[in-house]
Structure 1
């Protein structure tokens, strides 16, 4: 049974998954005002991962706010009325903990990993920075320079930049087509007042999820979080002032986006629109992805690297969002070999779109998907991320057994159908390399 924050009585606790012998128990509490707290108990470890997830990312930004979510992520580490930036980092260093954050297209996460005995400290520090950061003008100016350096570093790495170029080619000027970091122009123009307003409007209780996994007691986590958020929960019942900016665009923008760079290697992505994160066919698409370019036995790896030695790195991937998704094939090769590599990528994509995969590929794809999923949950950080992200962006948290069963249930017909739909769409191409004047649309 799925219980949403609106349905669950404030202050009550709901067991999402009972686990076994006290391990893997997932519990959920909704505080008055809408703040959600989810935990997973792992009594055999001596650590805890604690995170606060905000349902805001780069796709929620207007043109004038481009890069604001990531800019704000930096600023939340700069100090609160309770402690300075140095005091925050010193407290975590003193207990051997780690604290960090990341910004994605649709959410931002602030997290810490500590010994189980130091969980109260982690909750206090991370909650304080998320709810009470100062966002002072001098910190905005200092971090502006840091972020401009980060953008320059990102642009200097073609393996990173080609993904931004692909998003821009596929989605155009829609929010999902813009880089998470923003641009030099947008970051240079963002002022303290706009960022502080973005913080006040978006970081409200209904938009936040607190997640923790490890050797913990759920009731203690709830008590500590409630105390840490006490000052900020007075107006937590109000919704954010600015809703999510939708309209990424489900229409494919077939075409080419080529960036001339004097690089030693060409980097390319060939891809198209995928499916949403709640689409039940995502498990079939995952199996297809594994067969096409997900491992050393995949078609792309075998054809491009093993048989012909044309590239060191080649893979396929798929990403899902609230209302759309992407599917892409990446390859890095010598500029002189880009035509041959691109032709093989197109050919293999067309084969899967037209005829699906073999029975052997189906079984290998299932096994790879099962193994990577389970092995990726072997530490507290990944467990915290799974329950936190699920609470934030999914309707329910599927158990590990549920997910494994859904992977196992995928058939050849399922893969063939999703392959025909997704890979049969017009393709978009992004290329970075020394190709001045080259028309890849031909």
Structure 2
């Protein structure tokens, strides 16, 4: 390194220390559960939640990019890139990356969704510096070699094939296509065989440079961690790679999926030689920022969120028509989905759909009983707390909250928002959402006459 480069590096480091801004977002109790955020130069945000009583720590980096940021020809590029960042950097081979975490008994993985990607490692608290160094190296120093792109192509094609063998998963992709059509939200996260085969190394590398900018990243760590130490280690790793600031940052385009939602009453059927018919009946839901999401959560829990829910009782317990039946919500930045899934014998598909449709119509018209709402509030409150019992879940909560909402909400505040939901709140959101004409996706060995009759379920 030249003396000029050394002076530049020193100046950059000095500037980083000068402009870093730290805030306490949630004070916690006696230092336990304290959530802090530091914003580094270039826009990189680091958030931590401190739990001194545990011996583990989970470190993750969230990228504000998902499959909905892809063009048709790039469908699957986000997930492809997720795989490639594990294939090697300027400092580590793929084996070095995995061996470093394995050697300390840790675990490392990643996942890609419609609107974000996350890379994380869970280790003993004493091994957190190693986890930070490895994950940051992956995110900032990936080589994306042509030979790795070609080798990983086969792995991803196998992953697509594995998913295709599970119609219970595929039906949700089919439902997304039914609702959103050939748009980013309607396309599968994994891509298709055709798009994966067509993607080139240069396309993926350009996608990487565009979206893995500090302004589009959030670093999160939870467990027995010290905030200042995490910030110092992250800053050092990003500065070392020259990735702390970028002069060619690209602003992300606004996301407007509401325009993509297609006319209600659509039916998509995929003929498969399966033992069961897999169905999703649903309609537009709420964006993840909608204040009514708390009421929708209660509604969803009461309708199909557990063994005491209406749909579970009506379809499985009383009639024995399905083993798996549930409702769910998917909230995106600007729109959402509400769906009901059931897997049943092909001969019973019309009965199951009729019960589900009648159940939705009845709740839309009459609402839920006070007992159902009280039970759902209790169930949702309990599952919220129990779902945050490990450092990985805590890292997910603070990382996703920072990326998607730009703020943090304490568990007590979340429980208060759930408890504040009233029967009128639930009745209003049920009337608006469940009163819409639904759409339907079905996978199974249905005969032509059976398929033709499916339109009655959405009429």
Q: TM-score, normalised by structure 2?
A: 0.93
Q: 2:184 aligns with which of 172, 175, 178?
A: 175
Q: Report the equivalent of 1:373.
A: 384
Rounded to whole Å, the distance in 2 between the matches of 1:102 and 1:309 is: 35
What SS does structure 2 have at the residue aligned with 1:223? helix
1:195-223 CA distance string (max 9 Å, x none): 00000010000000000000011000000
Matched, 1:187 2:196: yes
Matched, 1:386 2:397: yes
1:164-212 CA distance string (max 9 Å, x none): 0000000111110000000111111000000000000100000000000
Rounded to whole Å, the distance in 2 between the matches of 1:104 and 1:132 is: 22
Q: 2:151 aligns with which of 131, 142, 149?
A: 142
On the 8 A contact 2:140/2:243 being kept in 1, the answer is no
Q: Report the equivalent of 1:441.
A: 455
Q: Report the equivalent of 1:227.
A: 236
1:153 CA displacement: 1.0
1:354-395 CA distance string (max 9 Å, x none): 111000001001001101100000000000000000000004
1:274-302 CA distance string (max 9 Å, x none): 00111010000000001100011100000
- Point out 4+ residue stretches in structure 1 off by more than 6 angstroms: none
Rounded to whole Å, the distance in 2 between the matches of 1:130 and 1:118 is: 19
Rounded to whole Å, the distance in 2 between the matches of 1:57 and 1:17 is: 28
1:252 CA displacement: 4.3
Please provide the CA RMSD for this pair.
1.2
Q: Which runs of 5+ in 1 are unaligned?
A: 1-8
More helix by share: 2
On the 8 A contact 1:47/1:214 being kept in 2, the answer is yes
1:441 CA displacement: 1.4
On the 8 A contact 2:323/2:343 being kept in 1, the answer is yes
1:249 CA displacement: 2.7
Q: Report the equivalent of 2:124.
A: 115
1:234-249 alignment, distance < 5 Å: 235-236=245-246, 238-240=248-250, 243=253, 246-247=256-257, 249=259
Q: Report the equivalent of 2:351.
A: 340
Rounded to whole Å, the distance in 2 between the matches of 1:217 and 1:155 is: 44
On the 8 A contact 1:36/1:210 being kept in 2, the answer is yes
1:10 CA displacement: 3.7
What SS does structure 1 have at the residue aligned with 2:354? helix
Rounded to whole Å, the distance in 2 between the matches of 1:240 and 1:192 is: 20
On the 8 A contact 1:350/1:424 being kept in 2, the answer is yes
On the 8 A contact 1:304/1:344 being kept in 2, the answer is yes
Q: Which runs of 5+ in 2 are unaligned?
A: 1-17
On the 8 A contact 2:41/2:244 being kept in 1, the answer is no
Q: Report the equivalent of 1:30.
A: 39
Q: Report the equivalent of 1:266.
A: 277
On the 8 A contact 1:262/1:433 being kept in 2, the answer is yes
Q: Report the equivalent of 1:399.
A: 410
On the 8 A contact 1:148/1:187 being kept in 2, the answer is yes
On the 8 A contact 1:176/1:248 being kept in 2, the answer is no
Rounded to whole Å, the distance in 1 between the matches of 2:230 and 2:248 is: 24
| CA distance 1:373–1:111, change in 2 (3 Å) | same
Q: 2:29 aligns with which of 12, 20, 36?
A: 20
Number of aligned residues: 434
Q: Report the equivalent of 1:317.
A: 328
Matched, 1:429 2:440: yes
On the 8 A contact 1:202/1:241 being kept in 2, the answer is no
Q: 1:101 aligns with which of 93, 102, 110?
A: 110
On the 8 A contact 1:201/1:241 being kept in 2, the answer is no
| CA distance 1:334–1:193, change in 2 (3 Å) | same
1:64 CA displacement: 1.1
On the 8 A contact 2:255/2:334 being kept in 1, the answer is no
Q: 1:61 aligns with which of 49, 64, 70?
A: 70
1:74 CA displacement: 0.3
1:156 CA displacement: 1.3
Matched, 1:218 2:227: yes
